[in-house]
Amino acid sequence: MATLPKRIIKETERLVSDPVPGITASPSEENLRYFEVTIDGPSLSPYANGKFQLELYLPDDYPMCAPKVRFLTKIYHPNIDKLGRICLDVLKDNWSPALQIRTILLSIQALLGAPNPDDPLANDVAQDWKQDEQKAIQVAKEWTEKYAVQK
């Protein structure tokens, strides 16, 4: 494998030395561009108490293009589909090389606290969300309990 850019080394070091509360990210031993991530559900959201597993991969031209991030834990959210793909502007067109792994993961955490059914990725979930928000939040809580809470 080609040598790891200094930027990635620096970011990794900082993630370890100065971790973000509620978020962990550790690089895989075989591939230092691949990170195993957990994000705690925001406390005032239906995802509270859940620990969500994600995978994050830094492509070759990172930081000129966005990291690839995907939920591994099943989640009921209008902007996250059943494959775990995330609809978030900063992961697509609004990516900027001034953003970092840290800021991206914080954005994802914020997305959990503020679902946006008007710009859906999972259409069925967004539909439910718009028709009966209370019910949708209830389902989201059940899914969190079922898949994301460690027993």
Where does this chain bind other proteins (CB under 8 A)?
5-7, 10-11, 63-64, 96-98, 100
Would you say 18 or 30 has its CB closer to other proteins?
18
- State how far the Cα of 122 lies from the Cα of 117, in Å rounded to an integer: 9
Q: How near is the Cβ of 126 to other proteins at its closest, in Å?
A: 27
Is 87 among the residues known to form the active site?
yes
Q: How near is the Cβ of 143 to other proteins at its closest, in Å?
A: 35
Would you say 11 or 128 has its CB closer to other proteins?
11
Cα separation of the two ends of the chain: 38
CA distances from 95 to 61, 79, 99, 107, 149 (A): 13, 17, 7, 12, 31
Would you say 95 or 143 has its CB closer to other proteins?
95
Do residues 144 and 71 lie in contact, with contact meaning Cβ atoms separated by under 8 Å? no
- State how far the Cα of 103 lies from the Cα of 109, in Å rounded to an integer: 10
Q: Which helix or strand (DSSP H or E) is residue 128 part of?
A: helix 123-131
Q: Exactly one of 66, 80, 87, 136 is catalytic; which is it?
A: 87
Would you say 49 or 103 has its CB closer to other proteins?
103
Q: How near is the Cβ of 63 to other proteins at its closest, in Å?
A: 6
Q: How near is the Cβ of 6 to other proteins at its closest, in Å?
A: 6
Residues identified as active-site:
87
